Amino acid sequence: MNIPMPIFRNAVSTDVSRCYEIESSAYEGDEAATEAKIATRIRQYPQGFLVMEREERVIGFINSGCAYNVVMSDEQFKELVGHDPDAPNVVIMSVVIDPAYQGKGLASLLMRTFVNRMREQGKKTIHLMCKERHVELYQRLGYDYVKPSDSDHGGMSWHEMVMML
């Protein structure tokens, strides 16, 4: 069976509810962004909010903001407080694939596409936080381990990663 390649595009306002549905189904408890936060991220920085579609349905996305000085434990930044689209450092807030599509290599494809777009935009670094179980995956994708994070977002332990572009 020939599986069609996904389509990548910047998010638009009509994607909010589908992205929230995916975020809520893939993240645990309080770690998922609210629908309002997703709407804010799309409205304020659509060029940093990449969606992946298959058969005209969003199946995954990455969203981000940019900063001159990155503080990964800054909870307000998740609402894009302090975000500057011209800043050279990208901070990823969510990388998520609909659970029905997980385990098919789509997250890696989504991440590689996102990284290439950030390079094209002239960004210098990409930062993210992940759970311990994802550290190795991000290292394979080209990220370097920085440190355990000071953030306790969602009441969980996080690890900071960075990729130099």
Q: Residue 42: its pLDDT value, please?
A: 97
SS3 content of the chain, % helix, strand, coil (to 5): 40, 30, 30
Q: Residue 4: its pLDDT value, please?
A: 75
The reply to whether the predicted model has a pTM over 0.75 is yes
Q: Residue 163: its pLDDT value, please?
A: 98
pLDDT digits (tens, 9 = 90+) for 24-54: 998 776 778 899 999 999 999 999 999 999 9
Q: Helix H segments across 5-148?
A: 16-26, 35-44, 106-120, 135-140
Q: Give the dihedral sign, CA 42/150/114/55.
A: negative
Q: Give the dihedral sign, CA 121/127/130/134.
A: positive
Task: Find the range with the poorest average confidence among 123-127, 132-136, 141-145.
Answer: 132-136
CA contacts within 13 A on the Cβ side of 76 = 4
Q: Answer whether residue 59 shows pLDDT above 80.
A: yes
pLDDT digits (tens, 9 = 90+) for 67-123: 999 988 777 888 889 999 999 999 999 999 999 999 999 999 999 999 999 999 999
Domain 7-164 has CATH 3.40.50.450: no
Spans of all domains in the chain: 7-164
